Amino acid sequence: MRGLSSERAPAPQDPAGASHPAHPIPFGRAPSSNGLAAGAHAVMTGVTRVFGSAVHALGPVDLELRRGEFFSIVGPSGCGKSTLLDVLAGLSSPTDGTITFEGKRVRGTVPDGVGVVFQEDASFPWLTVRDNIGFGLRRAGFRGPEAEERVRHAIDFMGLNDFAGAYPNQLSGGMRQRVCIARTLVMRPRLVLLDEPFGALDQQTRLLMGDELLRLWRASGATVLLITHALDEAAMLSDRIGVMSSRPGRFIEIVETGWPRDRTSAIAAEPAFGEVTTRLWNTLREESLKAMASQRRVAG
Amino acid sequence: MTRAGIQRLLITAAAVLALEASCRLGYVGRATMIPPSEMLAELVRLMGTDGFWSQIGFTLRNILAAAAAAMVAGFAGGVALHALPRVRRAVEPLIASYYALPFFVLYPLFIVLLGMNALPIIAMGFLYAVMAMVTATLSGLDRIPPVLRKVGRTYRLDRVQDALLIQLPAAGPHIFTGVKLALSYSVTGVIGAEFILAGSGLGYSIAFAYNNLQDRTMYALLLFVVVFVSSLTVLLHWAEQRVRHRSGAGRVGAARDTAGAGEKLVAAAVIALLILGGWQLFHGLAGDEALASPAVTLNRMTVLFGNPSFWENVAETAKALGLSLLISCIGGGLAGVLIGANRALSDVLEPLFVTLYAIPKVTLYPVILLLFGLGMPAKVAFGTLHGFIPMMLVTMGAIRAMNPVLRRSARAMRLTRMQMLTAVLVPATVPEIVTGLRISFSITLLGVMVGEMFASKRGLGFMIMNGISVNDTATMMSVTVLIGLFALAVNSALLALDNRMHRVA
């Protein structure tokens, strides 16, 4: 059995684009800026977040993201998953504790090398698909043939060729989310944070988007942190899954899946996949009941 | 052209033909109105005369100046208020009451401050247009999805970059609506001010023709105004639809007021002191002849309170306002529900009503007078002319925007059409109907005031007009302040109800 093992399966020698050889690789490998060996890429130590004086949303949380891994976080509604992502991204400051990314402290601003994809549709409605995807590149001073090539490859890779000149309101929800993912990944971030990016999509589209995400992850070599409420999604995509408690959110278990790096959504058919989701649900069920009870108390 | 557009053209053509037939067959007397074909013939003749285009040029220049100033100042005001939420909460009732105020009382002040030239007219157009731009800017900034601001931070944009690359384009469609409104309100303000107060321009030419019994010229000029305003409205509406369609604007609801009562009282007191300070300052600059001081105005108010004829005028205005509101709100609301319930019908009719409403209503006062004569019916007609269409449009919009699943649920429960109307459509749209009442109240009040100023010898509007003609600035200001306070009180109550309703909904 591969699932639930404590040791990770060895990564293939050349994983990039292995399952989709027909597509070019638009995002390239994330450059390792500081020469760190494989190991801790981002670290949260004793991080808490309290809103006002009464709402203790998160923590204390300790988390070490390994370079190049795919880590997912699941937890009951309102447990502070998105708060954790905001704090790690530098979109908000922790009340207590420290966060480092590639050895440098993160404090209230998004560090270079970090990309974020949000749950809501964050495409710019006034820009075409092509201009949306190229937004960050232009901002970073990339112009000319290199920038155009990166955008063109990203459009091709995401299957948006027929819509490059379209505006977001002419696209489906899934295509808009692909635009947002491409806009983030075309910057070649070394750490990609995804906050329930497929939350608003139907199940089939989610499975397909999950495959695309895996493909991108392999192609880029980036570290990925995915927040999701879908246990099957977490089980299918991740190397490790952190299960959070009800509010204030803390990690109550870290599950190692042990999947090979070149996995796809077809892994959902394997018996080990069922074991992972069952284990996640067993841990989460009680916490979800607690969260519902506390919501009822608030509503009452 | 779309199917709805063709239907609109046919309806307009049928209405013009019906009017032509009514005039030709004598159902509408020649002393009241001339046939549209004769209006057109007269307009063509006027276009060949010397003075026509210079008057039009004068008016257009004033409109453009007023609109440009209102756009710049309104945008800056909207951005400033958005950045200062406490100040915004304090001035919200003032903003809501703004259009109930008869700005024309300030004309003497502007003449003293700005001189006997086009500037006072431009100032009137500006005053009329600026608040529309402020509210549209606020509405646009409120509706920027929070996630876009987060995206800006992930790209480490500084404040200026964030404003230029994200906030401005995201708020763009609403700001464009402000530009559209500023332009069309400038038309109303400038032509209205020329009509009432000036000695040149298109509005003045209409008033001159009416006063000198040149009905053919008057109707020809009115036709010009109607065609000009309609074309402008259609053009702006088309541009607005394109901007909105492309950007998919309005994805997030507007911010709603959540301030405490104490904070509001303190802020209101500060604002009141600022207004009084500004008033005293302008009085010092312009003198008694142009603007009575706050103290003199207060003194005149106490004198008026002891005068029985003042209370007769109040009763007269209250009656006219009550009747106008009754017709505007109940009639407009009902018409809005009925038309809004039929999507195809509302697609056809909505742009027609929007265009109709954009015509400067003051210039229609000769027509109202010819139809109703001096007195209560003309005043009520004037009030209704102002308030009916906004109430209808807001209600229609609310019905159209209703969650479609509610309608499908009603059908699944096999409700009759009447049950659907009373049990689903009306309750689901009550918050928007309250918004409609609030907007309609202010505009109806202004309509009644304008009606009393021109079509009556009684009422508070008449007192203001009388004050203007005998240069009694103390009475003029007293009545204006009282109307303003009344509008403010009613609007504050309706705004509180509006906010409450939208929070519940």
* pLDDT tens per residue across span B6-24: 888 899 899 999 999 998 8
Q: Residue A167: its chain B contacts at CB < 8 A? A: 246-248
Sign, CA dihedral A213-A214-A216-A222, equals positive
B181 to chain A, closest Cα gap in Å = 22
Q: What is the pLDDT of residues A24-45, one digit of tens each?
A: 444 554 444 333 335 788 999 9
The answer, yes or no, to whether residue A2 has pLDDT greater than 60, is no
CA gap B31, B24 in Å, rounded: 12
- Picking from B216, B236, B258, the residue at the C-terminal end of a domain is B258
Q: Are residues B236 and B305 in the same domain?
A: no
For strands A96-101 and A104-105, give the pairing. Answer: antiparallel
Look up residue B167 and give its DSSP letter.
I
Across all residues in chain B, what is the average pLDDT?
84
Whether B212 and B378 have beta carbons less than 8 Å apart is answered as no
DSSP H/E element including A40: strand A40-51
Provide the Cα torsion B324, B329, B331, B337; round to 10°.
170
Q: Calculate mean pLDDT across residues B257-270.
A: 68
Q: Calculate mean pLDDT across residues B355-384.
A: 84
Question: Which 3 state secondary structure label does DSSP give B267?
Answer: helix
The pLDDT assigned to A22 comes to 35
Q: Are residues A105 and A218 in the same domain?
A: yes
CA gap B377, B371 in Å, rounded: 10
Asked if the Cβ–Cβ distance from B169 to A126 is below 8 Å, we say: yes
Q: Calculate mean pLDDT across residues B354-361.
A: 82
Residue range of the domain that includes A225: 47-113+190-299
Q: Residue B250: its chain A contacts at CB < 8 A? A: none
Asked if the Cβ–Cβ distance from B155 to A126 is below 8 Å, we say: no
The pLDDT assigned to B260 comes to 60
The answer, yes or no, to whether residue B214 has pLDDT greater than 90, is no
Cis peptide upstream of residue B404 (ω within 30 degrees of 0) = no
Q: Are residues B40 and B91 in the same domain?
A: yes
Look up residue A79 and give its DSSP letter.
S
Q: Residue B151: its chain A contacts at CB < 8 A? A: 116, 118, 122
Whether A133 and A151 have beta carbons less than 8 Å apart is answered as yes
Q: Are residues A235 and A280 in the same domain?
A: yes
The answer, yes or no, to whether residue B81 has pLDDT greater than 80, is yes
Interface test with B, best of A118, A137, A179 (most B CBs within 10 A): A118
* Confidence band of A15 (pLDDT split at 50, 70, 90): very low
* Confidence band of A74 (pLDDT split at 50, 70, 90): very high
The pLDDT assigned to B72 comes to 97
Whether A182 and A157 have beta carbons less than 8 Å apart is answered as yes
Q: What percent of chain B has pLDDT over 90?
A: 21
Q: Calculate mean pLDDT across residues B358-371.
A: 80
Q: Are residues B180 and B78 in the same domain?
A: yes
- Measured between alpha carbons, how far is residue A93 from residues A46, A54, A88, A98, B132 in Å? 13, 17, 9, 10, 39
Looking at the 3D structure of chain B, how many domains does it have? 3
Q: Are residues B236 and B321 in the same domain?
A: no
User: Does residue A6 sit within a domain?
Assistant: no
User: Does residue A20 sit within a domain?
Assistant: no
- Measured between alpha carbons, how far is residue B292 from residues A138, B41, B116, B285, B504 in Å? 59, 48, 20, 11, 45
Asked if the Cβ–Cβ distance from A124 to B170 is below 8 Å, we say: yes
Looking at the 3D structure of chain A, how many domains does it have? 2
Q: Are residues B345 and B417 in the same domain?
A: yes
ipTM > 0.85 for the complex: no
Q: Calculate mean pLDDT across residues B42-61.
A: 90
Q: What percent of chain A has pLDDT over 70?
A: 85
User: Does residue A86 sit within a domain?
Assistant: yes
Q: What is the pLDDT of residues A251-284, one digit of tens each?
A: 988 999 888 888 888 888 888 888 889 988 988 8
Q: Residue B155: its chain A contacts at CB < 8 A? A: 110, 135-136, 139
Flag the least confident range among B26-35, B106-115, B328-337.
Answer: B106-115
Q: Are residues B429 and B396 in the same domain?
A: yes
Q: Which of A91, A121, A168 sits opposite B150 (nearest CB)?
A: A91
Asked if the Cβ–Cβ distance from B246 to A125 is below 8 Å, we say: yes
- Picking from A161, A188, A215, the residue at the C-terminal end of a domain is A188
Decide: residue A18, CB within 10 A, 0-12 exposed, 13-18 middle, 19+ buried. middle
Q: What pTM value is reported for the model?
A: 0.76
Q: Calculate mean pLDDT across residues B21-48.
A: 88
Flag the least confident range among A87-91, B196-200, B290-294.
Answer: B196-200
The answer, yes or no, to whether residue B119 has pLDDT greater than 70, is yes
Q: Which of B150, B161, B251 sits opposite A118 (nearest CB)?
A: B150
Decide: residue B494, CB within 10 A, 0-12 exposed, 13-18 middle, 19+ buried. buried
Q: Which residues of B touch A (CB under 8 A)?
A: 145, 147-148, 150-151, 153-157, 161, 165-166, 169-170, 172, 245-249, 251
Query: Is the model more confident about A45 or about B290?
Result: A45
A3: which residues sit within 8 A by CB, 6+ positions away?
Answer: A257, A258, A259, A270, A272, A273, A275, A276
The answer, yes or no, to whether residue B27 has pLDDT greater than 80, is yes
Q: What is the pLDDT of residues B402-446, one digit of tens each?
A: 777 777 777 777 788 888 877 787 788 888 888 888 888 888 988
The pLDDT assigned to B134 comes to 93
Q: Strands (DSSP E) along B139-255, which ranges?
A: none
* Confidence band of B261 (pLDDT split at 50, 70, 90): low
